[in-house]
């Protein structure tokens, strides 16, 4: 491969992976959207390393978390079960029915829906944005 082409691919790849869709991603690598969630269970370690375990039921926070996860449905490494390096997971429910999960790792997201699961790279900005959702939801929970 020509050096100029390799350089162009390196510049292009992070932009593509940061967006919700991977161009020409096979259908089997795109998880279905989360719909009708009325509760999100947040579990794991917050950025300050505190263990967190709480439910989010506020409609606005639910919408923001669901939209964030749904914009990142495409997986790059399909079939990987919940890796041990996932620090915090948001599990989406409708009543007691689990709809899917979205987890945060060191530099990746873990995506799970009923029949599909895997990981996708995450930019520093995406990781920061997801951590902000977790911190805001944690600050609003009853003490």
Q: pLDDT at position 93, please?
A: 97
Q: pLDDT at position 29, please?
A: 82
Q: How far apart are CA 132 and CA 109, in angstroms?
A: 15
Cβ–Cβ under 8 Å, residues 92 and 44: no
Residue from 92, 20, 89, 104 nearest 61 by CA: 92
- How far apart, in Å, are the Cα atoms of 121 and each of 53, 59, 89? 25, 28, 16
Q: How far apart are CA 40 and CA 64, in angstroms?
A: 11
pTM of the model: 0.74
Looking up residue 34, the CATH number of its domain turns out to be 3.30.1490
Q: How far apart are CA 60 and CA 56, in angstroms?
A: 10
Cβ–Cβ under 8 Å, residues 64 and 130: no
Per-residue pLDDT of the chain (143 residues; tens, 9 = 90+): 333 333 333 333 333 333 343 445 555 688 889 999 999 999 998 777 788 899 999 999 999 999 999 999 888 877 766 666 889 999 999 999 999 999 999 899 999 887 788 889 999 999 999 988 877 666 666 55
Counted domains in the chain: 1
Q: pLDDT at position 76, please?
A: 85
Kindly write down the DSSP assignment for every residue of 65-118, as one continuous string: HHHHHHTT-B-SEET----TT--EEEEEEETTEEEEEEEE-SSEEEEEESS-EE
Q: 11 is in which domain, residue-wise? A: 3-140
- How far apart, in Å, are the Cα atoms of 24 and each of 16, 49, 70, 97? 11, 38, 18, 31
What are the pLDDT digits (tens) for 60-91? 999 999 999 999 988 887 776 666 688 999 99
Q: pLDDT at position 15, please?
A: 35
């Amino acid at each position: 491969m020509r050096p100029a082409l390799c350089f162009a691919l390196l510049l292009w790849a992070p932009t593509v992976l940061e967006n919700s869709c991977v161009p020409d991603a096979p259908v089997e690598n795109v998880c279905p959207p989360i719909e009708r969630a009325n509760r999100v269970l947040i579990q794991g370690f917050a950025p300050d390393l505190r263990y967190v375990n709480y439910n989010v039921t506020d409609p606005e926070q639910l919408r923001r978390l669901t939209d964030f996860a749904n914009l990142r449905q495409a997986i790059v490494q399909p079939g990987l079960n919940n890796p041990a390096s996932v620090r915090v997971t948001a599990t989406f429910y409708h009543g007691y029915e689990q709809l899917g999960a979205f987890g945060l790792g060191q530099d990746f997201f873990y995506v799970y829906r009923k029949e599909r699961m895997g990981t996708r790279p995450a930019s520093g900005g995406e990781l920061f944005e997801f951590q902000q959702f977790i911190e805001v939801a944690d600050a609003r929970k009853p003490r």
